[in-house]
Structure 1
Amino acid sequence: MTDYLPGLPADVADGILRIVDESGVDAEAVRLAARFKVAALVTGSEPPAAERETWRELVARVAVEPGRTEAGLAWGAVAAQEFVPPARVAEYLGTALGLLAADPDRPHRSGTLLSPAEVRFQLEELAGPVEELPDRRFHELFQDRVRQHPDAVAAVQGTRSWTYRELNERANLVARSLHRGGLRAEDVVAVVAERTLEWMAAVLAVFKAGGCYLPLEPHFPAERIATVLRRSGSRRVLSERGVPQLDAALAGLDDIELLLLDELLDGHRDAGSEHTADLDLPVAAGQLAYIYFTSGSTGEPKGAMCEHAGFLNHLLAKIEDLGVREGEVVAQTAPQCFDISLWQLVAALLVGGRTHIVEQDVVLDVHRFVDTLAEGGVRTVQLVPSYLEVMLSALEERPVPLPLLRCVSVTGEALKKPLAERWFRAFPGVLLVNAYGLTETSDDTNHEVMEDVPAHPSVPIGRPIRNVRVYVVDERLALVPLGVPGEIVFSGVCVGRGYVNDEERTAAVFGRDPYRPEERLYRSGDFGRWLPSGTLEYRGRRDSQVKVNGFRIEIGEIESRLLQVQGVRDGAVVVAGSAGHPQLVGYYTGASAPDPAVVADAVAAVLPGYMVPRRLHRIERLPLTANGKTDRNALVRLAEEAEPASGGADLDPPVTPTEHRVAGLWAELLKVPLDGIARGTRFTELGGTSLSAIRLVIALDRVVTVKDLQDTSTLADVAALLDRVAA
């Protein structure tokens, strides 16, 4: 390992000597403690210790085995951090030694090793551009456009279309009805309707009346509808006629008013101007605009509340970054309970463009969907990556010219580089925008606008949009070094209020920005890191960080490596098996993809053994959910169905005396049940680390080396190696 710090300032050297004298350790132990701390910082893994462990206690820990070996191994991993250059490591090491020497009895987690310049760069230079937000609400800016070109087409659905005037008048009819009925500012109005022109009018009406929009899909189970209505506190429902699930849900609820859209909109042509004129009610920037319910880890849905300022900021960012212009068509494709549906529905209205509502039966028929894009003159469309892949495959089967298409945005899932490569081969002149964000942060917060395939091995999620701040932090909300993975958190106008009527779950992820206490902060649960280009790389969900045989594993990292195998087009990794014996199982697609054994070897060449899926399966295509995302539950079911039939040596018990001996040593060293070790079991699968490998070599009387063990993955392989050495 390079000596990152050949010399020390005199005061630091004196402090180290004092610690040596007081603690009875050698100077190398002090330097090793500082290295251990730096290694934890730049690899994103704080050394296991009590939260209040002091520098002096850390020195004592690494002064003896196994702490000394553990620290040495950790320091050895520093050089592998591709985006943390040696010069910066040297700065961190100098700072660590300075803090240690100055106050050895201070907890080593209480300060930062980042320089003031790096902190300032992360807080200021990596923030989204600061842009003044108009002191207007979305619907007021829409009304300006109505006055500018009332007879221009605002929206299309199938063979139907409404002009700006027609849409505005219908929305005003509904809004006035809500207002006459006593709707107050921020009262929640549920809209239960299919994606139609009437749905669009209802959404606008809620904003105009000062209410809070809550979408619900008509086909949702009655229990789900009732749960959302109860949790949101909604007392009004705008709906189509004849929705049996809604009728069943309302039967068990009191004091909810049902307003039928067809009744409110009937006879709008005969309505006087006093009924169709704008209401012009005052609506504040900080007023609640909408609530979207998302799945909760407890099984109870949670409703994210967002305000008008964050809503408008997101619309303007979409218009600017995706290049939405007057007269152009934006496709509305997402289900109404998917937060991206809202910008797709209304962004074009702010610039005099047109919204094309693509009905669900068309979305589900990819050939009809492509034809609709062509015939409707769609310029901008947003899809989930899984659906984009299906669309590209359909275009390969039956090419359709899309001459007006200028921008495709993807969101909702990680965009994999092979898919980006396919896109630009097929449409080299069409922008591909990787959008990233969360419902709690007013939808997308980052845009990576691409004119070509990115040079980075994965597709970045881009820079923050206007008026949004993004930090990458550790569990204590302290900034991590540039290039080091951490949790992605958000600050600024984008951050919503929290979850409606759910203080406990709100408190768990919403708080104040420690660097700007006047701003809200949201903890995403996503992991990422800053790239040298100043863009953000997505590294997976916190809840996709699973524990297998004692190791915490990021599923996203395995999937990223799987996709880098030559010939693999798409892939996903899931955890199957029992709670006591979880296993990683991988699925991948690609006509020219290699056999599972070859893929496993390729992944094993770049990842630790404990991160290599126990089983790999090549399938024709990954299953999708109704929203077009990879259906991981379906993959888990596939894995569990395939397990009994998998057979093979990986499930066979040890046979030879040497295999029994090695299995016994593994069970003793790793504290795992002996009967859970098979001939095909890998040492790393059971929790084997570099440190335990060292202990195994000692237990084997040093007849093999750690390097030998790294090259022999299974129990049978290790036993065969020992037999060859003995012969």
Structure 2
Amino acid sequence: YIYFTSGSTGEPKGVMCEHAGMLNHVCAKIHDLGIGEGDVVAQTAPQCFDISLWQLVSALLVGGRTLLVEQEAVLDAARFLDRIVGGRVAVVQVVPSYLEVVLSYLTLHPRELPDLKCVSVTGEAVKKELVQRWFATQPAIKLVNAYGLTETSDDTNHEVMDRAPDRERVPLGHPIHNVHVYVVDQHLSPVPLGAPGEIVFSGVCVSRGYINDPERTRRAFMPDPHREGRRLYRSGDYGRWLPEGKLEFLGRRDTQVKVSGFRIEIGEIENTLLRLHGVRDCAAVVTGRVDHGKRLLAFYSGERPLDANALRDQLGESLPEYMVPSAFHWRRSLPLTENGKIDRKALTALAGELDVAEQDRAGPSTATEQRLAAAWAEVLGIAKYQIGRRDHFFDLGGTSLSALKLAITLGRAVSLKDLTDHPILADLATLIDGRAERRSENSSA
């Protein structure tokens, strides 16, 4: 079977996965997550993502049931929990940033999760603080930190936890059965225990390669020098072995990044942006805010600035939502290194400065606008003074997850649809004030 993942050349990479690798992974999920007869597993991922495979079939293989959770419910924490509780779900997998949204909602609206026994997180690094918060509120429900890639038939490592780890980084855990993981140097020789190196994989998990792309396949897949007849996959991830035999993730080696739990390659975004009329050169960079995840921004050059909404709409025709930059910055020319390449370090530094620089804009005026600005600042991780009354929530780095957080912060005074339809702060404030006025008139009548 073939799953497509983002490619740096502007074209998706079709990964040719083996049935044996998928089955091995599903069996590991059944064993490590404790899926048994009668259990319900929630399928929360769209079919275009590989994690949907195990979510769909694992329970069915042991006499359980799969609950299909529609994306509209996933995008509303209250509806999501209604589906989980009402469907008697035992096992669910989400990205850590979404689990944070669910925890925030449960803090304000506590409820029992009587059938849930295991939550798996994957797609991005999970913070120790989130694990601590989880077990502080749900001590009886196990948490599994899962790690893997499409090229390795999904997850290759599971860290099953019943309490927060002692280390600052949450481990990736041990490899699943029939999977061999090495941490190697540039010569593919294993590094000493505790030393950093590239994470490479061998065993039944390794896919055949990329369809119709022998050159990329040659660079990433090769014979395993340590096991005759086996093949290696070079992940581009860096990590190290811990003394207890668990893997620890240290970061990426190249331009692949993860934003909001999605693995993307910067080149695909840039190539799509370059095809737009009026864009002469461009670069996409990632900037991070403490405790607020990563934000994707685009710098571009051309004769004149272009309308950000138009750029966003045009990119959205070719790219999924999570690959569309949250903000666009025009420059007459982009900074270059000494050898004439775009200076990405300079742009990343500039992106950080733009995140904290005070903008020349009209500030919030009414009481509702002030309250909204404070809530936006909280969920977006920026200073309140950076938010103007005509600012666009998604231009400031808002995502569907931060929109969910905003709805929770405001006591569900606004919905995700409200924010999508009225993303300008002043317009959203007008909507809220109008509803309050109508409620007042109805009560007086």
Q: Answer yes or no: same fold by TM over 0.5.
A: yes
Instruction: Tell me if the contact between 1:446 and 1:462 (Cα under 8 Å) persists in the aligned partners.
Output: yes
2:224: which partner in 1?
513
Q: Alignment partner for residue 250 of structure 2, among 525, 539, 560?
A: 539
Q: Corresponding residue for 1:493?
A: 204
3-state SS, counterpart of residue 318 of structure 1: helix
| Structure 1 residue runs without a partner (length 5+) | 1-289, 547-554, 563-567, 597-618, 629-727
Whole-Å Cα distance in 2 between the matches of residues 371 and 392 of structure 1? Answer: 14
Task: Name the residue aligned to 1:165.
Answer: none
Matched to 1:501, the amino acid is N
Are residues 1:466 and 2:188 paired? no
C-alpha contact (below 8 Å) 1:411/1:436 kept by paired residues: yes
Matches within 5 A, 1:344-359: 344-359=55-70
8 Å Cα contact 2:4-2:14 kept in structure 1: yes
Relative distance call for 1:592 and 1:326 in structure 2 (3 A) is closer
Instruction: Report the secondary structure of 1:457's partner residue.
Output: coil
Structure with higher RCO (Cα < 8 A, 6+ apart)? 2
**2:130 maps to 1:419:** yes
Tell me the equivalent position of 2:120. 409
Structure 1 residues 338-367: Cα deviation after superposition (integer angstroms, max 9, x where no partner): 100000000001110110010111111121
Alignment partner, residue 432 of structure 2: none
* Native 8 Å contact 2:75 2:400 kept in 1: no
Q: 1:401 to 1:521 in 2, by over 3 A?
A: same
Amino acid in the other structure paired with 1:432: L
Q: Which residue of 2 aligns with 1:431?
A: 142
Output the CA distance in 2 between the equivalents of 1:504 and 1:400.
53
Structure 1 residue 573: Cα displacement = 7.0
Aligned pair partner of 1:571 in 275, 290, 293: 293
Alignment of 1:141-290 (within 5 A): 290=1
Higher share of residues assigned strand? 2
User: Structure 2 unaligned runs (5+)?
Assistant: 258-284, 300-333, 335-341, 357-375, 384-393, 404-445
Structure-2 separation of matches of 1:489 and 1:513:
10
Counterpart code for 1:327? G
SS at match of 1:399: coil
Alpha-carbon separation, structure 2, partners of 1:523 and 1:517: 17
Q: Report SS of the residue matched to 2:293.
A: strand
SS at match of 1:368: helix
User: Secondary structure of 2:228's match?
Assistant: coil
Q: CA deviation at 1:593?
A: 12
Larger deviation, residues 333-342 vs 417-426: 417-426
Using the TM superposition, give the Cα deviation of residue 516 of structure 1 relative to its aligned residue in structure 2, in angstroms. Answer: 0.9
- Kept after mapping to 2: 8 A contact 1:409/1:434: yes
Q: Distance in 2 between matches of 1:356 and 1:490?
A: 32
Q: Which residue in the other structure is 1:373 paired with?
A: 84
- Is the 1:575–1:583 contact (alpha carbons within 8 Å) kept by the matching residues of 2? no
Q: Distance in 2 between matches of 1:431 and 1:326?
A: 18
SS in structure 2 at match of 1:320: helix
1:540-689 matches, within 5 Å, as 540-544=251-255, 569-572=291-294, 578=334, 579-580=342-343, 581-584=346-349, 585=351, 623-624=398-399
Partner residue of 1:457? 168
2:199 is paired with a residue of what secondary structure? strand
Q: Secondary structure at the match of 2:194?
A: coil
How many residue pairs get aligned? The number is 300
Q: TM-score, normalised by structure 2?
A: 0.62
Compared with structure 1, are the counterparts of its residues 522 and 545 closer, same or farther at alpha carbon in structure 2 (3 Å cutoff)?
A: closer
Amino acid at match of 2:208: R
Letter in 2 for 1:336: Q
Encode CA deviations 1:526-579: one digit per residue, 9 max, x unaligned.
Answer: 111111221111111222589xxxxxxxx99x97xx8xxxxx644337787743
Give the distance between the partners of 2:206 and 2:220, measured in 1 at CA.
11
User: 1:467 and 1:590, CA in 2 relative to 1: closer, same or farther beyond 3 A?
Assistant: farther
Name the residue aligned to 1:222: none
- Cα deviation per residue 1:70-116 (whole Å; 9 max; x = unaligned)? xxxxxxxxxxxxxxxxxxxxxxxxxxxxxxxxxxxxxxxxxxxxxxx
* 8 Å CA contact retained: 1:471, 1:489: yes
Contact 1:370 1:400 in 2 (8 A): no
Q: Distance in 2 between matches of 1:622 and 1:595?
A: 10
1:622–1:463: structure 2 CA closer, same or farther, 3 Å change rule?
A: farther
Greater share of helix residues, 1 or 2? 1
Alpha-carbon shift at residue 400 of structure 1 (Å): 2.2
Matched with 2:48 is: 337
Verify the 8 A CA contact 1:569 1:590 in the aligned structure 2: no
CA RMSD of aligned residues (A): 3.1
Question: Against the structure 1 CA distance between its residues 623 and 540, is the aligned structure 2 distance closer, same or farther, given a 3 Å change threshold?
Answer: farther
Percent of aligned pairs with the same amino acid: 62
Write the letter of the residue equivalent to 1:404.
D
* 2:292/2:381 contact within 8 Å kept: no
Structure 1 partner of 2:157:
446
- Contact preservation (8 Å) 1:576, 1:582: no
CA contact (8 A) 2:45 2:51 kept: yes
* Cα distance between partner residues in 1 of 2:63 and 2:85: 20
Report the secondary structure of 1:583's partner residue: helix
Q: How has the CA–CA distance of structure 1 residues 341 and 594 changed in structure 2, closer, same or farther, with 3 Å as cutoff?
A: closer
What TM-score comes out, normalization by structure 1 length?
A: 0.39
2:29 matched to which residue of 1? 318
